[in-house]
Structure 1
Amino acid sequence: MAPMTSTERRPLLNRRLAEFGTTIFAEMSALAVRTGAINLGQGFPDTDGPESVREAAVRALRDGRGNQYPPGPGVPELREAIAEHQAKRYGLTYDPDREVLVTAGATEALAASLLALVEPGDEVIALEPYYDSYAASIALAGGTRVPVTLRSTGPDDPQGPRFRLDLDELRDAVTDRTRLLLLNTPHNPTGTVLTREELAAIAELAVERDLLVVTDEVYEHLVFDGEHVPLASFPGMRERTVTISSAGKTFSFTGWKVGWVTATPELVSAVRSAKQFLTFVSAGPFQYAVAEALALPDSYFHELREDLRAKRDLLAAGLADAGFGVHRTQGTYFVTTDIRPLGESDGFAFCRDLPERAGVVAVPNAVFYDHQDAGAPFVRFAFCKRESVLTEAVARLGTALG
C-alpha cells in the first residue's frame, strides 16, 4: 500500500477550532507595531496600576510567598478577599474555602466553566457581539453557539445611540437543548450595562427553564451610567450562576492574569475539575498582591471610574468631531462607533486601512458576531490610555477623516 500523502492526512488542527484563526487583537496590534500607529484596538492600559499593589507583589516575591505552586483553589488570602469583596459590594455571601476558585485570568475561568458544564449537543446562548474566546471555548466543549444580538437604537435615540437586549428574542432562543446562558455585563464591546429590570427578566427565564448561567463581570467597577448588579443576587440565581471576574481591568495589571469564580460548592467543584488540567495553578505571588488590591479604599474605585469617565468623554467627543457615529458607553473602557456617516460600511477594510490613513488602530466589531453583517459597520476604540495618547489619536483622526 502506498504511503498516505500529506494532502490525504487529517488536518492537524482540531476540527472544533478550524473556524478560529489568529485573534483580531494579535493582528491589529502587529499592524500598530509595523506602522507606528497609536493602538486603540487592544484593551490594555498603557500605565500600571497602584504602586502599593505592585509593591505587594514584590514583597511576596521576596518573602517567598507563591514562588512555588500555590494551593489549587488559590491562596487563602485571596479567596478570603474575594469573598469579602462580594459581600461588601453586593451582599453575596460565599465560603472562601468551598465557593471561590482562583484562575489564570477570566479567560481561563470562562474556558474551564464551559468545558466543565457543557457537553456535545448542548446549546449555549451568548449575547452578540461577544468576546472572541467565548466562541472558541464553546466549540472546545462541543457545544452549539446560539447568538442573541444586541441591536443599536440608532441615531434617533434621544439618549444617544446604544445597544439594547431584546428580551423576547432571548426567550425565543431557548430550546429544550439549551444548557447555559453566557452573559457579559458591563458588555464588551458595546459598552452596554444590563439594567436591573433586564437582569430580573433573565433570572426569571433561567429559573423557569432550569438553565445554568455563566456571567462575565470583569468590568464590574467600570460603570459610568447605571449600576452593576450581579445576576447571582436575584431570586433563584445563586444556585445556578457561575460568576466570573478578574483583577486585570480593575487594577490595571492585565499581565498578571488573576481571575476568579464564585459559585456554589457543586459548581465550583465542577469548574475546578476542568481548570486543574489547564494551568493547574498560576500567578502565585500576584495572588497575594491582588488580595491587598481588593481591600483598597472606596476612593480608589471612585477615582478609577472618574478618570476613565473623563477619557471616555474625550475620545467620544473626538470621534464624533471626526465624523463617526458614536454609541453611548455605559461601562467598560471601549467606545463603539458607526462608520457609515463617514461613507464607509466595511469595518474590516476600514480598520486595516486606518493605521496608514490616520495613524490609529481600532478593531472591527464584526469579528465578535456570528451574524457579521449586523456588525459590519461598527468599529471599537479603547480609551484605557494616557490622556496625551487619546488627545493625539483624536487629532490624527480629525485630520485624516474630519
Structure 2
Amino acid sequence: MTRATKTYVSETVSRLKPSGIRRFFDLAASMDGVISLGVGEPDFITSWNVREACILSLEQGHTSYTANAGLMELREEISSYLLRKFQVKYCPEGEVLVTVGASQALDLALRAIINPGDEVIIVEPSFVSYGPLVTLAGGTPIPVRTEGTDEFKLRPQQILQALTERTKAILLCSPNNPTGTVLNKEELAAIAHIANMHDLLVISDEIYAELTYDENYTSFAAVGGMRERTILVSGFSKGFAMTGWRLGFVAAPEEIMQAMLKIHQYAMMCAPTMAQYGAIEALKNGEHDVEEMRKSYRRRRNYFVQSLNEIGLRCHMPGGAFYAFPSIRETGLTSEQFAEQLLLKEKVAVVPGSVFGENGEGYVRCSYASSLEQLQEATKRMRRFLLQL
C-alpha cells in the first residue's frame, strides 16, 4: 500500500457516521434571527448558590486532582440523593463514580461489560450516541423500534424478538431523548422480568429523571430484584441546568463499578474538581430551583404540544424531558427535508427524527427548553410554513 492510499484512522471510527444533529446546529448558527428548538439544553442558568460554591472552591485553592472516583463528600451526597428521591441505596465508597458528564458514564459502562461481538439492545428512537458507543466498545447495537402510534413505549414482546445468545444488555432511557416518553413502574417491571429470565444487564440512562411531569418517577434500579443487574447513569446537566460543567455520575454493583473505575483511571483520572464542589451544593440545596424549572417546563410543554396538534403536526404528550416529537409524515417530506426547509424558509431549527434511528423518520425533535415567547413565535412560523406546503 502506498502512502497516498494508506490511512492511519481506525476502520471502526472511519465507519462511524458524524452526529446528524451537528449539521443543523452549524447551519442555524450561520443565520440571523433563528429560533432554535434543536439544542438539548436547559435555557436556565445554573443556580447562583451552585456557581458561588464553585467560585469559593477556587478561592480556597481546591485546584488539585480529586480521588479517581470523585470527592467522597460528593459521592455521599449522590448516594443520599438516590435514596431520598428514588428509594435505591448505593454505597458511596465502592458503588458510585463521578464522571465527566453522563456521556462518559455511558461510555465507561459499555466498555466495562462488553466483550467483542456482544449485542446490546437499544430502544429507538434513541439518543444519537448510543449505537456508536456500543460499536466503539466492540459490541453490536441491536435496535428495537418503538412506534409513535403507541407513544413510543417499549413492549416486552419487542425485546423478546430481538434476543439472541449474544445479547448482553438492554440500554434504556426514560424519560426518553428524543420522544419524551416515560416508562412507568409496571412497564419497567415487565422489562425487568425479561432481564432476570435471560440473565441480562440493564444500563438505565436517567439523566432526565428530575424532569417528569405527570407521575412519580421510577428508577429502574428500584424495581424489585434489578439493583444488581442495573447500571444507573445520570448527572447534573439537565435537571440542575449544569450542561457546561460536564459532570455526571454512575451507580452500579461493586464488581462492575471497579471495572469502570479502571478505565476511568487510565482515560480521565477524575472529573473537574471545581465542578464537583458545585454539584455538592446542588444536591444539598438545589431542590427548590429544580422544582421551579420543572414547573416552567411543564407549562411550556402543555402549550407547545397543544399548539403543534392545532397546526396539524400530530404529537403525543411527552411525560418527561423537554422534547416534543411530532409526526411530519402528512407533509410528504422526509424529516431531513422538513427540518432543512423550515430552517431556510422560516428560521426555525428542529432536528430530523432520522438521526435518532430509522423509525425516527417521519418525525422531528423540537426542544421546548425555550421561553414561552419564543415557542409562540416558533409555532406561528411553523403554521405559516405548513400553509405554504
Q: Secondary structure at the match of 2:79?
A: helix
- Counterpart CA distance in 2 for 1:291 and 1:143 is 35
Match of 2:12 among 7, 11, 16: 16
What does 1:2-401 align with in structure 2 at a 5 Å threshold?
4-7=2-5, 9=6, 11-36=7-32, 37-65=34-62, 67-153=63-149, 162-296=151-285, 298-341=287-330, 343-369=331-357, 372=358, 374-401=359-386
Q: State how far apart, in whole Å, the 1-side matches of 2:185 and 2:87 are.
A: 15
Q: CA deviation at 1:117?
A: 0.7
Is this contact kept in 1: 2:124–2:360, CA < 8 A?
no
| Distance in 1 separating the partners of 2:385 and 2:200 | 49
Unpaired segments of 5 or more residues in structure 2? none
Q: 1:389 to 1:278 in 2, by over 3 A?
A: farther
The structural deviation recorded for 1:218 is 0.2
Q: Is the 8 A contact 2:342 2:385 kept in 1?
A: no
SS in 2 for 1:72: coil
After TM superposition, the structure 1 stretch with the greater mean CA deviation from structure 2, 77-86 or 288-297, is 288-297
How many residues align? The count is: 386
Quick check: 1:193–1:226 contact (8 Å CA) kept in 2?
A: no
Q: In structure 2, what residue type is equivalent to 1:325?
A: R
Provide the rounded CA distance (Å) in 2 between the counterparts of 1:235 and 1:73. Answer: 27
- CA distance in 1 between partners of 2:288 and 2:282 (Å): 12
Q: CA deviation at 1:249?
A: 0.2
C-alpha contact 2:323 2:365 (8 A) present in aligned 1: yes
Give the aligned residue type for 2:2. M
Q: What is the CA-CA distance between 1:214 and the residue it aligns to?
A: 0.9
Q: TM-score, normalised by structure 1?
A: 0.92
Q: Is the 8 A contact 1:345 1:376 kept in 2?
A: no
TM-score, normalising length from structure 2? 0.95
**Deviation per residue, 1:183-205 (Å, 9 max, x gap):** 11111111110111111111111
The percent of aligned pairs where both chains have the same amino acid is 35
Summarize deviations over 1:122-150 as a string: whole Å, max 9, x none: 01011011111111110111101111111
Evaluate the alpha carbon distance shift between residue 152 and residue 44 of structure 1 in structure 2; reply closer, same or farther with a 3 A threshold: same
Alpha-carbon distance in 1 for matches of 2:332, 2:266? 46
Question: Within 2, Cα distance between the matches of 1:14 and 1:297?
Answer: 43
What's the CA shift for 1:14?
1.9
Extract unaligned runs of 5+ from structure 1: 155-161
Shifted more, 320-329 versus 242-251: the winner is 320-329
Residue 298 of structure 1 and its aligned partner are, at CA, apart by: 4.3
Q: Distance in 1 between matches of 2:270 and 2:287?
A: 30
Q: Distance in 2 between matches of 1:84 and 1:247?
A: 15
Deviation of 1:52 (Å): 1.2
Aligned partners of 2:341, 2:9: CA distance in 1, in Å?
Answer: 31
Give a deviation string over 1:86-130, Cα, whole Å, max 9, x none: 111122121111111000000000001101110111010110111
Q: Is the 8 A contact 2:204 2:233 kept in 1?
A: yes
CA distance in structure 2 between the partners assigned to 1:14 and 1:385 by the alignment: 39
Root-mean-square deviation (Å): 1.6
Amino acid at match of 1:339: I
State which drifts further: 225-234 or 196-205.
225-234
Contact 1:47/1:385, CA 8 A, preserved across alignment? no
Deviation at 1:293, TM superposition (A): 0.5
Q: Is the 8 A contact 2:35 2:348 kept in 1?
A: yes
Contact 1:366–1:378 (Cα < 8 Å) also in 2: yes
Task: Name the structure 2 match of 1:157.
Answer: none
